[in-house]
Chain A
């Protein structure tokens, strides 16, 4: 109020522009997700570290003999693939219903609608950060020294975030109009899990004489790109090849472009369908 503003006169009540406003909204929404997820949980965030570790242990036991194909540090190979893929599947699954879940907000307050899928992707990123702690533990266990190649990590994550936001905008917008997309997406994610060399080795496909078109599909798979990128910098201590870099970058840009297009076309009708 006016009479109280003397002592705090220097503080601007309102955000300078939309970007600043949206940034604060996003911060609050992601914080909210985080608090609600771990409320009343004894171990809390430790679960985000434990989860990928337990998964890795189970998969190592089962697949070491089947698919490892002599890969060094196979558990590390597994966990890197798993957390990268999980980031994509978690964030897109959450973004899928983000507009529908935000119905109370969409119907009552003025808000830039794109924040909801972005919120879900950023929240998945927080969880991903905790899984990196698990990766660090595994590297410590297997005495894998990190190298300077880790400076590529922001590039990899940046592209992956853009890629996921793009997908999130597409499927999130479609799900508002057709709830079928929700069921369809879980099928696609399952198929995608098997199509990506998470627990098997890409070389195995070539060795066993898989037809060229199968190899082509796997190689064009964006998640193959991101998973390989992560393994390059964490496990194999090398910079990603131009091929992988291009694959990730092209997919990220294409998905974001389609996402923005679909979202722009449909967002005005959201409120009538949520």
Chain B
């Protein structure tokens, strides 16, 4: 499995529960709030997107996250990426994260590709000098040299995905989170991205969390898989076993 001898984990998900309050109606004004408060009608329906989920990932490990739609995969990724805070339990992450969770996250589509590369780079924690030095490389990888100074609202979703992937992977992050963002790119770019991810994996320094509905892709890339179903951790183990069990439920 992991090539590192370090006992420290790159990602530790300890008993994480994520609760969303689904108010029966949205209360956005003080008046409504006080009326409901006085009438004792201020109830919320709790929705548990994740229920006491725990798993640990060693540095350099490549883990696939599988589960049907709405099972809590994306919520799990957002907790790990630090976008959401766990309601209960804790999530410890060691190292820099390059999260490719949602397409166009952190882009302002009114801005040009050039401006967005700097904005997004800042959000990823890069330094300005670093982006200056690698700007051309990012554009080259995305293969969009003619569109650098065009507002990104005119881009197709595939083009946005190219830019996003190029920025996030221009340097080796400690942890790479890949949601289904790649699926919008064309086949050639998907293969290019996969090659780059493979390259990271072979290096053995990058921890990869990979979400996909394509079991073939998960089996091809990952060593281990975690199956989350309806907010529960269903299975955690070697990728072929988990994928076999996951497929079996549809049989």
- Number of B residues, CB within 8 Å of A: 43
Chain B residue numbers with a CB within 8 Å of A264 are none
Tell whether, in the assembled complex, residue A180 and residue B110 are in contact, meaning their CB atoms are under 8 Å apart.
no
Within A189-206, the residues touching B (CB, 8 Å) are none
Number of A-B contacts (CB under 8 A): 100
B99 touching A110, Cβ below 8 Å: yes
Instruction: Give CA–CA (A64, B134) in the complex, Å.
Output: 59
Contact A8 B106 (CB under 8 A): no
* Assembly CA distance A20 to B128 (angstroms): 10
Other-chain contact of A107, B83, B126, B169 (Cβ < 8 Å) = B83
Contact mask for chain A residues 102-144; partner B; CB cutoff 8 A; 1 contact, 0 none: 0011111111000000000000000000000000000000000
Q: Does A217 contact B (CB under 8 A)?
A: no
Chain A interface mostly: helix
Q: Name the contact of B119 in the complex, choosing from A4, A20, A28 (C-beta under 8 A).
A: A28
Please state if A2 and B203 are interface contacts (CB–CB under 8 Å).
yes
Determine if B21 and A272 form an interchain contact, defined as CB atoms under 8 angstroms apart: yes
Closest to A20 in B: B127
Whether A14 pairs with B111 at a CB distance below 8 angstroms is: no
A12 within 8 A of partner (CB):
yes
| Mask of B6-32 contacts with A, CB within 8 angstroms, 1/0 | 000000000000001100000011110
A166 to B161 Cα, complex, angstroms:
38
Over the window 65-87 of chain B, the binary record of Cβ atoms lying under 8 Å from chain A Cβ atoms (1 yes, 0 no) is 00000000000000001111100
Say yes or no: B171 contacts A13, CB within 8 Å: yes
Out of B81, B108, B133, which one reaches A11, CB within 8 Å?
Answer: B133
Determine if B130 is an interface residue (Cβ-Cβ < 8 Å): yes
Closest to B126 in A: A13
Contact of B20 among A20, A104, A272 (CB under 8 A): A272
Contacts of B99 in A (CB 8 A): 109-110
Which chain B positions have C-beta within 8 A of A13?
A: 126-127, 130, 170-171
Q: Are A14 and B30 in contact (CB under 8 A)?
A: no
Return B104 CB to nearest CB of chain A, in Å. Answer: 8
Partner of A180, one of B31, B85, B102: B31
A271 to B237, CA, bound (A): 33
Bitwise, A176-187 to B at CB < 8 A (1) or not (0) is 001110000000
Query: What A residues does B111 contact at CB under 8 A?
Result: 32, 35-36
